[in-house]
Amino acid sequence: MAAILGGGLGGLSTGYYLLKNNLNSNNNLKLYLLEATNYCGGWIKSIRTKDYVFEQGPRTIRPKGVTGLNTLNMIQDLGLSEHISPIKPDHPAARNRMIYVNNNLYLLPSSLKGVFQKNEPFSKPLIYALYHDLKKPHKQLKDDSIYNFVERRFGKEIADYAISPMICGICAGDAKEISVKFLMKTLFEWEQTHGGVVKGLMKSLFSSKTGNELVLSDLARKAQEEKWSVYTIKGGLEMFPNKLQAHLKDNNVTMNLSTKVEAIEFVDSGSVSLNIQTGEKLSVNHVYSSIPAYCLASLVQKQHPELAKTLKDIPFVTVGIVNLYFATQKPLIKPAFGFLVPPIENSPILGVVFDSCCMPDQNGTVLTVMLGGRWFEEKFGKNTTSENLYNIAVKEAN
């Protein structure tokens, strides 16, 4: 018997792959999924009306790399292929990404030609950043912050206006605090091994590629051939966890919603006891956790205080999400993915996504404003209200 803690996309996917391995190896492993709330999907939540879809968490998925292609295999297997809406390289949402600096929106270059031109707020064409990387001697390091790495290799402007806002867009965090090895491992390894990113890139282009053993589904092959930038799901991303949940149920996984696990007790090398909030206990042989690290910390605190401390040290940030809908005939926004705000601007918002440009079947103008992240408490205090966040979002989106 095995239990999966958490019914977000992480927990549901764990269930999907455990089932797959189970079926492939003819095991008869009994699976339980325990989710604290009455909903499976975690951060993924879509609100659908006839005119628009509001995404309250993620909205686009990257198809690139082995993990991206593997996800597309899973999506096809779940029967979701016809609901996929790709954003291809010539789509405005793929080409046009902006940053907000000094009360102005600036388009980031998206073509080779743009790299040779001067694009505000950068003081020089971006090609100079590549030159900077080529001439800068490399420094032997075990790890570094993303900000320090980018500043060293490409200069301060790239660190402030390109990479720091990008990190806010990916994980609502501060590039000065996040490990480069965690999010940009290949680039860091190129610096450490070859003396710079451009040098590493050149060498990798000429080195023989190790074969990728992943068998691609039709959908994954199509994404590769058509060079999708990202994709969304028509009708809302929530369809993805909904389908996964149904798949697990159909394959006899016991789905326990409204079941908060309060403690994990490792009894011996083969059994674990889970204490549920209701007072019940569940005894299993394996536990897979997909809950946030700080939540898991409190579950193991009593038996493993050292582990709990390490888990608590993993930062967790809060993002405020405000979806806005304007019932206009013409779009109120430029055709683009949206804009990000560099932390150096000291704004309460991290960025705005232009949903009506990225997602199909949206009438009017739909925007999502993301607020706070790493700076949430600093900007809004500990007890802010939804109304306060809404007012700030409307003011900033204007």
How far apart are CB 314 and ligand FAD at their closest, in Å?
Answer: 13
354 half-sphere exposure, CB direction, 13 A CA radius: 18
Closest contact distance (angstroms) between CB of 136 and ligand FAD is: 32
Contact 88, 78 (CB under 8 A): no
CB of 210 to ligand FAD, least distance (A): 25
What is the C-alpha to C-alpha distance for residues 274 and 265, in angstroms, rounded to an integer?
A: 6
For ligand FAD, the closer CB: 198 or 358: 358
Q: Which is nearer to ligand FAD, 164 or 368 (CB)?
A: 368
Give the tokens for residue 303: 């038996």
Which lies closer to ligand FAD via its Cβ, residue 162 or residue 230? 230
One-letter amino acid at 370 equals M
**Residue (152 or 379) nearer to ligand FAD, CB:** 379
Q: Which is nearer to ligand FAD, 4 or 158 (CB)?
A: 4
Q: In the complex, what is the shortest distance from the CB of residue 152 to ligand FAD, in angstroms, rounded to a whole number?
A: 28
Closest CB to ligand FAD among residues 128, 337 = 337
Nearer to ligand FAD, 99 or 350 (CB): 350
Nearer to ligand FAD, 131 or 294 (CB): 294
Residue 256: CB minimum distance to ligand FAD, A: 9
The answer for residues whose C-beta is within 8 angstroms of residue 111's C-beta and 6 or more apart is 95
Which residues are registered as beta bridge partners of 255? Answer: 33
Nearest distance in Å: CB 133, ligand FAD = 28
Closest approach of Cβ 187 to ligand FAD, in Å? 20
Question: What is the rounded CA–CA span in Å between residue 32 and residue 357?
Answer: 40
Shortest distance in whole angstroms from residue 349 CB to ligand FAD: 12
Interacting residue ranges for ligand FAD, rule: CB under 6 A? 5-11, 34-37, 42-44, 57-61, 260-261, 290-292, 295, 319, 321, 370
The edge-to-edge listing of strands for the beta sheet with 271-276 is 261-268, 271-276, 281-284
